[in-house]
Structure 1
């Protein structure tokens, strides 16, 4: 049985897990002049879903399918995310979001206390499992989160029409579902065989962004 209401709670941007403080690389792209309008945002979101979103969905699904922590599988997933995140700034941001999500998850569902510091996709899978969700549902939440966060940030950074921005998110729904389905199909694969898509420009932008004294978003 699909627990749609529970999935909505987990994927809701208003969940007090700190997601509102992160732009997913959008602030760096806007400030550099690479992203100026709705057309640019559409391309950014599709690219982010195909790269970061694919990796996040796969690791969330794998963490959801793993035995309850502490478990060697979770440790391997953490190492796998480190290997796929060369930017120190993005590693810090991912772990900050993971800690915040685990804190929120423990306040809502019976999340085991074994994990305290985790990459966000891994934390998402752990929390999803505690909420009774499947790996496929964890993957949907991860895929959607990789585009919904930057989309919300775009309204603040560029002053875009929120109706038009949400229309972009609706257009990406099928792509999110496909990404999640592929991720869930490989949830039991060895960590080395999980997606390792590279997003060099996001990595470089994250390092530049982290050096700014004044910024609206943490990442």
Structure 2
């Protein structure tokens, strides 16, 4: 039997074939808009702000999806609640595309996920992560922490490609984000119903994503 801790580590590994390398967590359009012009510490602040807003929503969605899957109920209301709290069409499309990649992987590695989601469909990434958590024995805290860590790591990794950043300095930013990630984990782990999912927003992240979707030259999908 697989260890839940090892599953969590596997899902947090950027080398997993889920298309993580195509994502910047909105950093690329933010840099285009001027983020980082006053110093690279802006990047850490950006990641921290995401953890307080849009990432907290995704973490709550994932923990609710886990609880709903464990109860053998439909995940459609969770997907609908996520969509209602994600106003940017570009961000919804990016999440569903990555969710499809997670679902394809899960169908091969953890096929019990297909008891809860239809194979090879575009489903919001946090919903798929929650379903994987349910079938692999991850706790609500592990699922929420995974979502928070992955988002912060995505920002930090993208910064190395977008800006002149010392990798050791970037690792320091990620370490400094451990406390905000744990705050997110504590806030999101107790949710079990779609109605409980918070609706934190970050309007500039939405605006940047919409503009980025029409860029003809870009390093990242989103």
The TM-score, its normalising length taken from structure 1, stands at 0.92
* Pairing partner for 2:202 from 181, 199, 203: 199
| Matches of 1:178 and 1:207, distance apart in 2 | 29
Q: How does 1:12-31 map to 2 (within 5 A)?
A: 12-31=13-32
* Pairing partner for 1:121 from 122, 126, 129: 126
1:49 aligns with 2:59: no
Deviation of 1:68 after TM superposition, in Å, equals 5.1
8 Å contact from structure 1 (residues 125, 138) kept in 2: yes
For residue 88 of structure 1, what is the aligned residue in structure 2? 89
**Pairwise CA RMSD of aligned residues?**
1.6
SS of structure 2 residue aligned to 1:34: coil
8 Å contact from structure 1 (residues 59, 77) kept in 2: yes
For residue 108 of structure 1, what is the aligned residue in structure 2? 109
Question: Any unmatched runs of 5+ in structure 1?
Answer: none
8 Å contact from structure 1 (residues 110, 131) kept in 2: no
8 Å contact from structure 2 (residues 4, 136) kept in 1: no
SS of structure 2 residue aligned to 1:112: helix
Question: Any unmatched runs of 5+ in structure 2?
Answer: none
8 Å contact from structure 2 (residues 18, 98) kept in 1: yes
Deviation of 1:4 after TM superposition, in Å, equals 2.0
8 Å contact from structure 2 (residues 23, 154) kept in 1: yes
Deviation of 1:131 after TM superposition, in Å, equals 2.0
| Matches of 1:64 and 1:161, distance apart in 2 | 37
8 Å contact from structure 2 (residues 106, 113) kept in 1: no
User: Which sits farther off after the overlay, 61-70 or 91-100?
Assistant: 61-70
Deviation of 1:104 after TM superposition, in Å, equals 1.6
| Matches of 1:105 and 1:214, distance apart in 2 | 32
* Alignment deviations for residues 143-187 of structure 1 (CA, whole Å, 9 cap, x no partner): 11111111100010003111111111111112212211221112x
For residue 159 of structure 1, what is the aligned residue in structure 2? 164
SS of structure 1 residue aligned to 2:99: helix
| Matches of 2:194 and 2:60, distance apart in 1 | 10
Deviation of 1:105 after TM superposition, in Å, equals 1.9
User: Which sits farther off after the overlay, 86-95 or 170-179?
Assistant: 170-179
